[in-house]
């Protein structure tokens, strides 16, 4: 099972915002801070209500550590983060640290997603300002040791699940690792950074920087140098066949989650607007700016990975410091208003909370988007990004 490939996305109905607002459908108004704060409280209350006695945020053993790390990061992050000396936070940190292995990684060996769990934990500990330097250094070294350094490998520079060995690297795993390494310090070795950029380029449809025969020119991104993951069936023989058919036809389809993964990774590696690789990816994002689906997914599967798409969209524009932008049709949009509108419309009141908590869940349960803690954590992160950007 693959927990985090393209996490959460709201199964927003088709009446939600599409690519651009027409004259008959005015754009959503920018929310007031009090309105965003109220929804932050609702999401945070729900997540805290799922805290388990052992310090986790998930009662089941499978993926317990990784999911708990993602939730922990979301509830301690500013603004309105839970105080790090809160007993629940202290227990969660102690719980996650029990998963550090002799190799330095922080994971449950039975999960098979050691990169994801290690990266998510390092990111969470960095956000809350944990000072356990020895633990974090060992975990960082573990992540760096997962990089594919084989010069003639198609996936040179990438990072995979950590359990499959070299040759199974992908853009999503790599993005998780890059963020963890940057937030916990930096990527100081120029060779490591150069290899990472090589891998990112091989996941982008941009023939000027990707010399693989499958590279197109729409600027968007796909899962790995030889697999799109935007096919129409989830994790099946049909899925594999669809991806193989794309590759054989000399084309790998771009889609939303991976394109925003690419953009954030480029930003973390110090690329800025004006760089043709970043500009091309942003061009794809503007061309496919929407909140009702994960754009680029196959027919009938448009909502798979939708919440993770929304999460990565919010992360991208937060990192870029953007508020408004012009789309190819000439319309001007404000991602803060559009994203808040999408999140607010799909909030589900928790009946056990007496009106104090809300959560989100995706009926298209590919990539574990049917897990409310996971989805709610990503929407909480987005709400905090929106709040932080309302002063801009």
Q: How far is CA 384 from the centre of its chain?
A: 15
Contact 122, 159 (CB under 8 A): no
pLDDT band at 365 (very low <50, low <70, confident <90, very high): confident
Q: What separation in angstroms does the CA of 263 have from each of 24, 126, 204, 221, 239?
A: 32, 22, 10, 9, 25
Mean pLDDT of 174-190: 97
pLDDT band at 313 (very low <50, low <70, confident <90, very high): very high
In-domain check, residue 288: yes
Mean pLDDT of 169-192: 97
Going by the DSSP 8-state scheme, the letter that residue 224 receives in this structure is B
Q: Helices 335-345 and 306-320, interaxial angle, to 10°? A: 150
Backbone torsion region of residue 38, taken as left when φ is above 0, otherwise alpha when ψ lies between -120 and 50, otherwise beta: alpha
In-domain check, residue 268: yes
**Around Cβ 140, how many Cβ atoms within 10 Å?**
20
CA distance 189 to 104: 19
CA distance 314 to 385: 7
pLDDT band at 246 (very low <50, low <70, confident <90, very high): low
- pLDDT attached to residue 12: 34
In-domain check, residue 2: no
CA distance 263 to 99: 31
In-domain check, residue 97: yes
Instruction: Share the mean pLDDT of the chain.
Output: 89
Classify the C-alpha dihedral 270-271-272-274 as positive or negative: positive
In-domain check, residue 1: no
Tally of structural domains, the chain: 1
Q: What separation in angstroms does the CA of 30 have from each of 16, 34, 318, 334, 390?
A: 16, 12, 16, 8, 8
Classify the C-alpha dihedral 32-35-37-40 as positive or negative: negative
Please determine, for residue 10, whether its predicted confidence score (pLDDT) is greater than 50: no
Can you give the residue range of the structural domain that contains 160? 8-389
Mean pLDDT of 107-120: 95
In-domain check, residue 3: no
Mean pLDDT of 144-148: 96
In-domain check, residue 152: yes
Please determine, for residue 7, whether its predicted confidence score (pLDDT) is greater than 70: no
Contact 231, 244 (CB under 8 A): no
Distance separating the N- and C-terminal Cα atoms of the chain:
41
Contact 23, 13 (CB under 8 A): no
**Span of 13-27, 230-244, 330-344 with lowest mean pLDDT:** 13-27
Which pLDDT tens digit goes with each residue over 27-57?
Answer: 789 999 999 999 999 999 999 999 999 999 9
Please determine, for residue 59, whether its predicted confidence score (pLDDT) is greater than 90: no
- pLDDT attached to residue 319: 97
CA distance 295 to 302: 7
Express the helix, strand and coil content of the chain in percent, nearest 5 each.
Answer: 45, 5, 50
CATH number at residue 318: 1.50.10.20
Gyration radius (Cα) of the chain, Å: 20
In-domain check, residue 84: yes
| DSSP symbols for 91-106 | HHHHHHHTTB-TTS-B
- pLDDT attached to residue 164: 63
């Amino acid at each position: 099972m693959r927990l985090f490939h393209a996490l959460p996305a709201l199964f927003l109905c088709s009446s939600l915002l599409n690519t651009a607002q027409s004259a008959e459908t005015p754009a959503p108004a920018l929310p007031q801070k009090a309105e965003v704060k109220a929804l932050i409280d609702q999401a945070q209350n729900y997540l805290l209500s799922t805290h388990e006695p052992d310090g986790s945020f998930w009662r089941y053993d499978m993926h317990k550590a990784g999911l708990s790390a993602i939730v922990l990061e979301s509830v301690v992050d500013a603004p309105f983060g839970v105080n790090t000396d809160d007993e629940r936070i202290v227990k969660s940190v102690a719980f996650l640290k029990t998963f550090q292995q002799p190799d330095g990684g922080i994971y449950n060996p039975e999960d098979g997603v050691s990169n994801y769990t290690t990266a998510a934990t390092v990111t969470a500990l960095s956000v809350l300002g944990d000072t356990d330097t020895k633990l974090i250094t060992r975990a960082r070294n573990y992540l760096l040791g997962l990089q594919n350094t084989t010069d003639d490998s198609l996936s040179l520079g990438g990072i995979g699940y950590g359990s499959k060995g070299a040759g199974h690297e992908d853009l999503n795993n790599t993005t998780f690792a890059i963020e963890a390494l940057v937030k916990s310090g930096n990527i100081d070795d120029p060779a490591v950074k150069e290899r990472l950029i090589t891998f990112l380029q091989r996941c982008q449809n941009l023939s000027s920087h990707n010399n693989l025969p499958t590279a197109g020119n729409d600027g968007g991104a796909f899962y790995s140098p030889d697999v799109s993951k935007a096919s129409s069936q989830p994790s099946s023989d049909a899925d594999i066949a669809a991806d193989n058919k794309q590759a054989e036809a000399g084309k790998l389809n771009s889609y939303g989650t991976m394109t925003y993964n690419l953009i954030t990774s480029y930003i973390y590696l110090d690329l800025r607007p004006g760089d043709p690789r970043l500009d091309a990816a942003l061009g794809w994002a503007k061309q496919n700016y929407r909140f009702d689906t994960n754009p680029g997914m196959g027919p009938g599967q448009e909502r798979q990975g939708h919440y993770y798409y929304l999460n990565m969209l919010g992360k991208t524009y937060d990192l870029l410091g953007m508020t408004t932008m012009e789309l190819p049709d000439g319309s001007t949009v404000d991602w803060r208003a559009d994203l808040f509108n999408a999140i607010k419309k799909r909030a589900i009141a928790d009946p056990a909370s007496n009106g104090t908590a809300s959560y989100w869940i995706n009926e298209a349960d590919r990539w574990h988007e049917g897990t409310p803690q996971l989805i709610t954590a990503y929407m909480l992160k987005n709400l905090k990004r929106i709040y932080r950007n309302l002063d801009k």
